[in-house]
Amino acid sequence: MSGNENLVEVKHLKEYFSINTGLFTSKPLKAVDDVSFSIRRGETLGLVGESGCGKTTVGRTLLHLYKPTDGEVWFDGKKIATKQDLVEYRKKTAMVFQDPYSSLNPRMTVADIIGEPLDVHKLYSNKKEREEKILDLMARVGLNSEHANRYAHEFSGGQRQRIGIARSLAMGPEFVVCDEPVSALDVSIQAQVINMFDELQEEMGLTYLFIAHDLLVVRHISDRIAVMYLGKMVEMADANEIYSHPLHPYTKCLMSAVPVPDPKVARANQRIVLSGDIPSPLNAPSGCPFRTRCPYATEACAESMPEFKEASSGHFVACHNLDKFD
Ligand SMILES: Nc1ncnc2c1ncn2[C@@H]1O[C@H](COP(=O)(O)OP(=O)(O)O)[C@@H](O)[C@H]1O
Ligand code: SF4
Ligand SMILES: [Mg+2]
């Protein structure tokens, strides 16, 4: 293990999709627009924001499942630049998908789903070793070994997500993007699965980017939390700090929907109620993307995008008017 504190660094990442607006015309949809952050070795960075704000695209582009339109991704102190870097990077990173119903082939057995990455990369020398590896992964995610030869469609959502997680972990990744891994599951089993992510992190020394649209889900598991709005990162801080001192008006809106036991914190969080819909990223407002819904918007907010800067130690926020309401 090297001495880099940051395992993952993202610098000015952009992902623009070209959208046809007519027969011969197209327009860039700025799904991720100049986002920078880092993730420390062994930590969980929670990434939250409303549906469509660009969370999945950040995760996929960061893993180079989409080629970035612009910007850099660094892993373990090294920029991902060449094809060879990418091959190495792919072995050390993985993604857990949101929907365990569509991400697993229902006609494959559990053993073959989990074993497929091992087969592709020839990570065993004989059948017995393959089987041992598969059974070890199954045990880690709490699946009974008797289930190995059954088919994915025979399982419940929670069990399918466990199968998906075991498959993602098969290559022994260091970094995992968990894309709303419990959103499609019954509320009654969400906590179990989140606890499992926690345990796996401890046992396997994993680093997570944990995506959710719900702040309650990431609270328990995150060391730090980042908030996105319309393709931009608007705030990032330690999880406790975000909950007790949210600075960005959008974060405060999100917080006001989360029940908190401390009345002081509850008061601080309940000053703003979010109104209106999130604009389309094809027609994003000029300047600050939140200005069409922000009660503190001024002329400056329409003119330029506020810089994402450190307001207090380790607490980053992008807003022109912080001094006006705090
Ligand atoms: N492959 C794609 N092609 C075109 N547009 C896309 C694609 N993937 C996502 N988008 C658009 O990019 C924006 C961000 O999407 P996404 O990253 O999925 O958001 P989230 O995960 O936060 O819900 C949305 O407007 C979505 O419609
Ligand atoms: S920059 Fe302006 S519009 Fe954007 S969040 Fe701050 S006050 Fe609101
Ligand atoms: Mg998503």
CA atoms of 106 and 154, how far apart (whole Å): 8
Q: Domain containing 248: what range?
A: 242-326
Residue 310 in any domain: the answer is yes
Is residue 281 in some structural domain? yes
Ligand minimally distant from the alpha carbon of residue 278? 1
Q: Which atom of ligand 2 is nearest to the CA of 301?
A: 2
Length reported for the chain: 326
- Per-residue pLDDT of 95-142, as tens digits, reads 999 887 788 888 899 999 999 999 998 889 999 999 999 999 999 999
Provide the token pair at 113: 């789903």
The total number of structural domains in the chain stands at 1
Residue 217 lies in a domain: no
Q: Quick check: is 107 in a domain?
A: no
Query: Does the pLDDT at position 247 exceed 60?
Result: yes
- Specify the pLDDT at position 267: 58
Residue 77: pLDDT above 70? Answer: yes
Residue whose structure tokens are 């990418």 = 86
CB-defined site of ligand 1, < 6 Å = 17, 29, 31, 49, 51-57, 281
Residues 6+ apart with CB under 8 A from 262: 244
| 251 found inside a domain | yes
Dump pLDDT digits (tens) for 30-39: 999 999 999 9
Given CA atoms 267, 218, 9, 3 in this order, what sign does their dihedral have?
A: positive
Q: Output the CA 103–ligand 3 centroid distance in Å.
A: 14
* Per-residue pLDDT tens digits for 141-186: 999 999 999 998 899 999 999 999 999 999 999 999 999 999 989 8
Predicted pLDDT at 39: 98
**CA–CA separation, 309 and 312 (whole Å):** 9
87 part of a folded domain: no
Output the pLDDT for position 275: 75
Q: What angle do CA 219, 225, 226 make, to 5 degrees?
A: 140
Residue 149 lies in a domain: no
Q: What's the pTM? A: 0.93
Assigned domain for 314 exists = yes
Q: What is the mean pLDDT of the chain?
A: 92
